[in-house]
Amino acid sequence: MEIAIPLFDRFTALDAIGPYQVLSGLPGANVRFLGPEPGAVRSDNRMLTVLVDGRWEDASAPDVLVVPGGVGTRALLGDERLLDWVRAVHEQTRYTTSVCTGSLVLAAAGLLDGLDATTHWMERDTLGELGACPVPARVVEQGKIVTAAGVSAGIDMALRLVELLTNAEIAQAIQLGIEYDPQPPFDAGSPEKAPAETVELVRAAIAQSEAEAEAAAG
């Protein structure tokens, strides 16, 4: 079972690591992190550096594709090299998936045209502009395409993927292995639940970090 997770400059770490932690528990799984080129790839806030030994195209026929998000996805929406690879592997995957703004990449590749899909709550409009039908759900399944909401939603999605790829018993065993019995100290994890002023605060903070990333990218 080959699982490919393409990384890129300014990816969001938990988008990639949540599904990796779950999917690497699949019997016989081989999770490969890939980059634009072999070498160092840095996260959105520059605090984490992942070393990859292969480029995206080195995964030519993964069973599962997981595209993470992050402010770096903005620069990828016109990256024909990445989009060509995504389209090519999608032909052969068992599941083509995304976390957070990774779904914008799937949409830019034309895979979500007219399909329900989800993304980080702040980018639902962008997802719609790219041809998908944004749904405010944590995980959206459309045939073999599965999209997850922002950042932490990739953990929930990956457990569902394990069930789809094997069975509920193995998914539950992996859940127990990572002791995923979430007990967040607050109930503020979605814009529908958080206080309105918190939503505005986060909206402003993320818009600022996107502007900074765009400025840094020239």
Give the shortest CB-161-to-its own copies separation in angstroms. 10
Q: Tell me if 144 contacts its own copies by CB under 8 A.
A: no
| Contacts by 158-164, CB closer than 8 A, 24 or more apart | 158/18, 158/19, 158/21, 158/22, 158/23, 158/66, 159/22, 161/19, 161/22, 161/23, 161/64, 161/95, 161/97, 162/22, 162/23, 162/25, 162/26, 164/95
133 is annotated as an active-site residue: no
Q: Does 8 bind its own copies (CB under 8 A)?
A: no
3-state secondary structure 76-91: HCCCHHHHHHHHHHHC
Catalytic residue, candidates 100, 108, 171, 213: 100
Question: Is position 31 an interface residue for its own copies (rule: CB under 8 A)?
Answer: yes
The pair of structure tokens assigned to 193 is 């639940």
List all residues 6 or more positions away from 105 whose beta carbon is below 8 Å from its beta carbon.
Answer: 67, 73, 76, 77, 82, 83, 86, 98
- List the interface residues with its own copies, window 66-95 (CB under 8 A): none
Among 35, 102, 134, 150, binds its own copies (CB under 8 A): 150
The reply to whether 198 sits near its own copies by the rule CB under 8 A is yes
Contact between 1 and its own copies per CB under 8 A? no
Instruction: Check residue 189 for interaction with its own copies (CB under 8 A).
Output: yes
Cβ proximity of 39 and 100 under 8 Å: no
Q: Does 134 bind its own copies (CB under 8 A)?
A: no
The answer to whether residue 14 forms part of the interface with its own copies (CB under 8 A) is: yes
Chain residues that interact with its own copies, rule: CB under 8 A: 12-14, 17-18, 20-21, 24, 30-33, 40, 45, 47-53, 100, 120-121, 138-139, 149-153, 155-156, 159-160, 163, 168-169, 171-173, 175-191, 193-195, 198-199, 201-202, 205-206
**Catalytic residues, which ones?**
100
